[in-house]
Amino acid sequence: MTEEQAKAKIEELSNLLNQYNYEYHVLDKPSVPDVEYDQKLHELIKLEQEFPQFRTEHSPTQRVGGEPLDAFKKVEHRSPMLSLGNAFNDQDLRDFDRRVRDGVGGKVQYVCELKIDGLAVSLLYENGRFVRGATRGDGTIGEDITNNLKTIRSIPLRLKEDATLEVRGEAFMPKASFMKLNEAREKEGVEVFANPRNAAAGSLRQLDPKIASRRNLDIFVYGAAAVEGRNVASHSESLHYLDELGFKTNPEWKRCETIEEVIEYVNGWVERRPDLNYEIDGIVVKVDSLDQQDELGTTVKSPRWAVAYKFPAEEVVTRLEDIELTVGRTGVVTPTALLEPVQVARTTVKRASLHNEDLIREKDIKIGDYVIVKKAGDIIPEVVNVIQEKRTGEEKNFHMPTHCPECESELVRIEDEVALRCINPKCPAQIREGLIHFVSRNAMNIDGLGEKVITQLFNENLIQDVADLYELKREELLKLERMGEKSVDNLLKAIEASKDNSLEKLLFGLGIRNVGAKAARTLAEHFETMENLQKARREDITSIHEFGDIMADSVVVYFEKPEVEQLLEHLRKVGVNMEYKGLKRSETENIDSPFSGKTIVLTGKLLQLSRNEAKAEIEKLGGKVAGSVSKNTDLVIAGEDAGSKLTKAEKLGVEVWNEDTFIGQLND
């Protein structure tokens, strides 16, 4: 290939991949399967390695994270990033409206937007190219975090027009990503993040961009601070313009004619916010007309034409009755607060994670204390602090044990970890937790083998590893308590049926560190057989899109263990399938089905299938299941007690099926 041909091909692939990226991460409507994206990305990587002089800053290859920095540079924003004044109730909003109308002397329209609980950032584009991204800092001077922001795939590296402008947005971590990240950190003995906002901020302030690239961050752009060559008359018009340029804006914004309409919007989101897949902590209300904004002006700290309505924090008081210790399948010993049951954010809370001994010491938590509890980000029950005034003197100090509560092995604190860990590979708690994980719904999905039955089988010494499940005998099971003939027969049938599961189920069930359900499927689809995966080298795995060094190392180290080789050989002998049975993503493109190429949302309670089973059937027939309803949703399947997602679908005119229609289409 000549240099001229290489340059043209690199530009063609860059433009194509950036378009695919926009469709997937901004529109939530991918036009090609992942495998095709990966193939083109690898082709581009090879070409850029061979012809590095043609690599551009907007190349999709720049999203994986560059070399670590020594420190962040300070940069000045072209226009200040002001903070907003707060409103805490309806009267505060009416007072804001009165001040605005007095200031402009006439009628005012407002734009209401969800206040994303993340990290405010500024993005600078010159001639359509992303050249710099910065934190808010003090509003005038921020920190240059360009390389970290490039890892957020919903941030365009090149706009659809050669525009020069500075835009403002909120980078955030989706709820599911936050849960997954904290679970992984807890297992690794690393301090967990208190909420999604801290997690997003911590990710974007990493000196190593590769860390940010693994955190699955997202962004909503909410305004343009400085636009050259384009006149817009209102904030709502600027939001439409940002859409046209290829930015991801939040679709839930609304233009309101009166402050009463604003209050109705605010009160509606107080109830609906748990349905979102990201955190919000309020509503931002802005005067729509830019001329009126200029007329109202700003104070030293904040604009007079905008206000942030802050949702009230839901905190309750309850008694911490005891602290329980659990040993996870990776050996981490976690203290959990056992609480007097209390209602928090519409759910009953009986337990709250205390994470580690350092947190207990820092908050001076004692058994018997009255404590304030909230749900961090409305997700995880958290002990906020102790009410010292309620102490009677009968409270007891808590001390973490020096030895494992399950196997009595000495606990260790590995360097740079805050958690205590049992490193005994034969620790019964770790083995039992591994067995429970293996039979779980997202893994081998063996119906009838819940936590209690696994514990019973383990305590009776009938199973010691996952392969033993396939050697269980009917006569052995019938001797156990609460095991009748029918339940034993059903259990054995479920175990036998699980042998035919596709490879990704087995891979996830084995509990390889850092390999979740999605990664397990990607590995299974890529390598096709367990034998191929066992032979895979580190570079074979890192060549897969979104597989980094840590995940690759985890897989290679796992399969190097002699005991793992013995376990897999045992599973082969008892007839467990070791091959990928699913359709490859490239094969779902041309499937002729009512789901093919559509974005589908499941809501409410399904009676004939579990949510995961329904999702699997849709994906098998070429559809994609999304978590929330938007203008890009093609179909909503509504079960019993469907809530706000159904309401929104009806409002947007999205097609809705009940469960019977859905099952009928599957059967057809």
Residues with a catalytic annotation lie at: 115
> Identity (one letter) of the amino acid at 381?
P
To which H or E segment does residue 524 belong? Answer: helix 517-527
To which H or E segment does residue 350 belong? Answer: strand 347-353
Strand partners, 349: 342
Q: How far apart are alpha carbons 386 and 363 in whole angstroms?
A: 7
Q: How far apart are alpha carbons 626 and 264 in whole angstroms?
A: 28
Q: How far apart are alpha carbons 408 and 122 in whole angstroms?
A: 53
Residue 389 half-sphere exposure toward CB, CA atoms < 13 A: 2
Q: Is residue 282 exposed (0-12), middle (13-18) or buried (19+ Cβ within 10 Å)?
A: buried
DSSP state of 287: E
DSSP letters spanning 535-597: H--HHHHHTSTT--HHHHHHHHHHHH-HHHHHHHHHHHHTT---B--SPPGGGSTT--STTTT
Cβ neighbours of residue 496 closer than 8 Å, sequence gap 6 or more? none
> Identity (one letter) of the amino acid at 224?
A
Among residues 296, 214, 281, 251, which one has the least CA distance to residue 547? 214
Q: How far apart are alpha carbons 21 and 154 in whole angstroms?
A: 7
Q: How far apart are alpha carbons 433 and 407 in whole angstroms?
A: 14
Look up residue 218 and give its two tokens: 């997202």
Q: How far apart are alpha carbons 466 and 444 in whole angstroms?
A: 10
Cβ neighbours of residue 15 closer than 8 Å, sequence gap 6 or more? 158
DSSP letters spanning 557-574: HHHH-HHHHHHHHHHHHT
Q: Is residue 414 exposed (0-12), middle (13-18) or buried (19+ Cβ within 10 Å)?
A: middle
Q: How far apart are alpha carbons 562 and 54 in whole angstroms?
A: 46
DSSP letters spanning 151-182: T-TTS-SB-SS--EEEEEEEEE--HHHHHHHH
Residue 126's alpha-carbon distances to 13, 57, 161, 167, 302, in angstroms, are: 22, 12, 10, 11, 27
Cβ neighbours of residue 20 closer than 8 Å, sequence gap 6 or more? 30, 31, 32, 37, 40
Question: Nearest 5°: phi and psi at 344?
Answer: -135, 125
Question: Nearest 5°: phi and psi at 108?
Answer: -135, 140
Report yes or no: 219 and 172 within 8 Å, Cβ to Cβ. yes
Q: How far apart are alpha carbons 329 and 183 in whole angstroms?
A: 12
